[in-house]
Structure 1
Amino acid sequence: MATAYFYFGKPINSDTVTSCITGMRNQLAARPQPGTNFSWDTFHVSIASGGGEVISAFSLFNQMAGMDASIHTHNSGAVDSAALVPFLAGTRRTASKYSGFLLHQMVWTFPAPEQTKAQVAEVTGWLKNYDRMMAELISERSKLSFDDAQRMMKDGTNLTPEQALDYGIIDAIEDFKAPRDTFTWMV
């Protein structure tokens, strides 16, 4: 049994998600044949990200949640906005003493100065859908109710590690320590 360590310290977008998933999938594929003593059974993923693209965040969550390995996620600085989504994929979730969390509603930047009424309605529907999905995920993976998660997102809530522990977003406040001679992947 072995643990691989991943450090995700960039905005969440299709490139960083692809890099992270490629690293994880390559390590799973590198597992020796059955009957040997060695296997990657745990991935520790240290996250320090201000967020990013919500579609990419849900893609990373779904990929991580479907891995044939135990996933331990750790907040090593900030898990803000969309970064909370893959963070919640952890079967064990921890945070450093000096870290924080930010929950807020989805944000959209219009790519063109002029939008039709139909385009604005489409974006509004998209935002509502992903706000609902985010609140649903938070309520499924913490002690917060769906309504509390929605309220906290609407209010733009910053959480300390102690508050995240009280709300069940994390399991413990602890340092992230990777042994010296282990596999590490930087994103």
Structure 2
Amino acid sequence: MSEDQANQQKEAWFTLSGDVNSDMVHRVFEATSHMTEDGIETAHVLVQSNGGYVSDGLCLYNFMANSPVNFITYNGGAVASIAVILFLAGRQRYASETARFMIHKSHATASPGSRPDALNIIVEGLRADDARTESILRKHIELSPEQWGIHQYGDLHLTAREAKAAGLVSEVTDFAPPRGAPLRNI
């Protein structure tokens, strides 16, 4: 076996799409287990997600960022909401020219007729989620004061070039598995 073949076997290419939820957490856990059993050291992962549950996204971020597998993440279309946090688990991060990111604060819908104490609990939970996600954002990216201002009160949309300027991605380039490399969906 040549050195190139040996190196290729230590790398693998994956797609990860859908809502960030307990099902995605399970799929990533299971896939990573197989990666470690197969001796895969680097996993190139194309992420496509409009977001989902904050706790599941934080779990995936912490798991992937500390995994023995080196995750390299790619955005080929849209990575939004809590999916941006899991995307940041990539030790290297890339986006296609036409890709977009969207970052915003947490939100929830209260049941009609909710009592003030129930609303307080919801607000406290949202503030806690925002503190957790913002600490990760600030660890990895540098937004302008204007961008942080938009994020404070609304949806912040970033093009691939804006994401590069902020440090969200290191390069604007496509997810392009080498010809003949296995491609698996997580």
TM-score (normalizing by structure 2):
0.87
Residue 48 of structure 2 corresponds to: 48
Residue 160 of structure 1 corresponds to: 159
**One-letter amino acid matched to 1:105:** K
Structure 1 unaligned runs (5+)?
32-39
Residues 97-153 of structure 1 show CA distances to partners (whole Å, capped at 9, x for unaligned) of 11101011111133x4332222211110111111122111111012238x7775342
Residue 102 of structure 1 corresponds to: 102
Superposed displacement of residue 19, structure 1: 0.8
**Aligned residue among 14, 26, 44 for 2:22:** 14
Q: How does 1:23-62 map to 2 (within 5 A)?
A: 23-31=31-39, 40-62=40-62
Q: How many residues align?
A: 177
C-alpha RMSD of the superposition: 1.8
Q: Secondary structure at the residue paired with 2:41?
A: strand
Structure 2 unaligned runs (5+)?
1-6
Q: 1:122 to 1:149 in 2, by over 3 A?
A: farther
Q: Distance in 2 between matches of 1:24 and 1:71?
A: 10
Q: Is 2:169 the partner of 1:170?
A: yes
Q: Secondary structure at the residue paired with 1:178?
A: coil
Residue 74 of structure 2 corresponds to: 74
Q: 1:150 to 1:66 in 2, by over 3 A?
A: same
Residue 151 of structure 1 corresponds to: 149
Superposed displacement of residue 185, structure 1: 2.8
Q: Secondary structure at the residue paired with 1:51?
A: coil
Residue pair 2:147, 2:156 contacting (<8 A) in 1 also: no
Q: 1:18 to 1:75 in 2, by over 3 A?
A: same
Residue pair 1:138, 1:149 contacting (<8 A) in 2 also: no
Q: Distance in 1 between matches of 2:61 and 2:158?
A: 21
Q: Distance in 2 between matches of 1:150 and 1:134?
A: 13
User: Percent identical across equivalent pairs?
Assistant: 27
Q: 1:151 to 1:68 in 2, by over 3 A?
A: same
